[in-house]
Chain A
Amino acid sequence: GNSVTQMEGPVTLSEEAFLTINCTYTATGYPSLFWYVQYPGEGLQLLLKATKADDKGSNKGFEATYRKETTSFHLEKGSVQVSDSAVYFCALSGGYNKLIFGAGTRLAVHP
């Protein structure tokens, strides 16, 4: 069945550090891939997405590239800010907006 595996947290970084959160997936067919972010006390928000192989999703300085050969969709940001502190979820959709989520990675950025 479909599944998503992402690196365990928490990830603790200093402001302006480089961020990578690894995500790999198992799926039949060609799913769409997503990164969602959950800020403290808020609901999930779509951060970025990619719908086919080699697509790069980007938003707010974050980016991730859909790599079919390695079944990965790693999230990166060149310079994190304190306001990026949140829980990040990698997810895939096999269709009909039915999402399968990874376990989530908590990011804490310190000044």
Chain B
Amino acid sequence: QSVLTQPPSVSGAPGQRVTISCTGSSSNIGPGYDVHWYQQLPGTAPKLLIFSNNNRPSGVPDRFSGSRSGTSASLAITGLQAEDEADYYCQSYDSRLSGYVFGTGTKVTVL
């Protein structure tokens, strides 16, 4: 029932830059609701990676950055490292559903 669409997978070699898109609509990302990003390592709970579109919580490396434009958002990982291999989810608020919505999730593979 995800209303935010992400690519199922992205991959890159160590040191490369990868981006993950998050496509929403006029009832969530479009009106300006904040987008947040989470990293989920295998077998663990998701961890907040980027909040309010482009802010990093304390302790998150600056290799991770976020942006939002129109009805979409993106997460970029520069200088890809083996430890970045995980699932990534975007999240926002949807006014039509009057609740939070998650993206479909993207698996990042480090080649």
A interacts with B: no
Q: Report A's interface with B, CB cutoff 8 A.
A: none
Q: Report B's interface with A, CB cutoff 8 A.
A: none
